[in-house]
């Protein structure tokens, strides 16, 4: 019985590590969000500098530069859905992340023309709830909008 007692003592003594590992993962994730926010800040600054140079006449409109900036935004936004899900999971577990609100705000403030994450999220929620429209309904809606 003493072997089992020893094993159970070790089991008990090591169990705290799971909470510790989870907390450390949360801290690492919060740092990752901060890094992502800094990357977005850099992209926005790059876009701002380009527009300033355009306004002052230092450069002419350059579709390559515009497409490059657009691609940077698209790359930044591409993991947002996954990261938001991870963020929600940490918060469900009771963790508070210092970069959570700033990251959420950044995810819904897109500089990608036609990209409206709030509308996409609402549509995804409607679809999950079973509120789907047929292709015919969508086509009819688009035709109504075109006609005015």
pLDDT (average), residues 36-47: 95
Distance from C-alpha of 70 to C-alpha of 47, rounded to nearest angstrom: 9
Instruction: Give the pLDDT of residue 52.
Output: 92
What residue ranges in 58-136 does DSSP mark as E strands?
none
Average pLDDT along the chain: 84
Tell me which of 42 and 129 has the higher pLDDT: 42
The answer on pLDDT for 117 being more than 90 is: no
CB contact at 8 A, 43 and 72 = yes
Q: What is the pLDDT of residue 127?
A: 63
How far CA 59 is from CA of 20, 49, 51, 65, 89, in Å, comes to 53, 11, 9, 11, 46
**pLDDT score for 62:** 87
pLDDT at 139: 76
């Amino acid at each position: 019985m003493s072997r089992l007692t020893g094993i159970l003592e070790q089991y008990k003594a090591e169990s705290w590590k799971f909470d510790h590992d989870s907390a450390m993962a949360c801290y690492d994730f919060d740092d990752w969000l901060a890094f992502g926010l800094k990357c977005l800040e850099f992209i926005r600054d790059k876009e701002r500098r380009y527009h300033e140079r355009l306004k002052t006449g230092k450069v002419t409109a350059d579709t390559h530069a515009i497409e490059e900036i657009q691609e940077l935004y698209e790359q930044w936004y591409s993991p947002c859905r996954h990261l938001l899900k991870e963020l929600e999971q940490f918060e469900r577990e009771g963790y508070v992340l210092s970069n959570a609100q700033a990251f959420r705000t950044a995810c819904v403030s897109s500089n990608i023309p036609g990209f409206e994450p709030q509308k996409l999220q609402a549509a995804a929620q409607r679809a999950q709830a079973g509120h789907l429209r047929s292709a015919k309904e969508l086509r009819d809606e688009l035709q109504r909008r075109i006609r005015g």
